[in-house]
A and B are shown apart, each in its own frame.
Chain A
Amino acid sequence: GAGVSQSPSNKVTEKGKDVELRCDPISGHTALYWYRQSLGQGLEFLIYFQGNSAPDKSGLPSDRFSAERTGGSVSTLTIQRTQQEDSAVYLCASSLVASGNGGELFFGEGSRLTVL
């Protein structure tokens, strides 16, 4: 597709279950970011992938969160043993070059996660 694609668009899960969120970035974009927006908060950085470099995982809130990017393209964000505070909109973005080189981000429409 032409844009960043995320799935699922909505996910309702029970506390303690694992969830996987998927992001398909724009083809050729080397940088991929995950952010989340909790109610009333700004976008919170989670993780950043750049090419073949080791990802910057410094924004992941706990060890229940992990992400991978296979083949430099699709990325999966996994949340294990979900908690109610994990409820948020999870946004994926990609850019042709890293933000530090002037790269604007292209966002997906997000995955809204609700943990009951």
Chain B
Amino acid sequence: ILNVEQSPQSLHVQEGDSTNFTCSFPSSNFYALHWYRWETAKSPEALFVMTLNGDEKKKGRISATLNTKEGYSYLYIKGSQPEDSATYLCAPLGGNNRLAFGKGNQVVVIP
């Protein structure tokens, strides 16, 4: 079982501010890293699937970077909006086609 750490576990952000959080995972046996957004009362939705060291992906105001050598990924939200309030889940993929999810970064954007 991969040990996945996401920090901070919870954060409050003022509307318009930018924020970022971290996902740490074992750097050995790395295959891919997934990020999902899980809004309350909805189903988790994929944000990014990243595979290469140095990868940077962007979707609107949200972007992510990946460092496979040191085993971490950052997720950035630029100019946070209330609709960004959600739990962001990080999940590295091990060699068994199985994603190992962290506990998530719970983001609350305050209007």
> Which A residues fall within an 8 A CB radius of B?
3-4, 31, 33, 35, 40-45, 48, 50, 56, 59, 91, 93, 98-100, 102, 104-110
Contact = CB atoms under 8 A, between A and B. Distances in A.
A35 B97 CA distance: 14
Interface residues of B, number: 26
Majority secondary structure, B binding face: loop
A1 B91 CA distance: 27
Contacts, number: 64
B49 A104 contact: yes
Contact of A100 (B4, B46, B97): B97
A55 B65 CA distance: 33
A4 B97 contact: no
A105 B96 contact: no
18 contacts: A3-B43, A41-B103, A42-B101, A43-B91, A45-B99, A45-B100, A48-B97, A56-B96, A91-B44, A99-B99, A100-B97, A104-B49, A105-B34, A105-B44, A106-B43, A106-B46, A109-B42, A109-B43
Contacts of A104: 34, 46, 49
B45 A107 contact: yes
A99 B34 contact: yes
Contacts of A102: 32, 49, 51
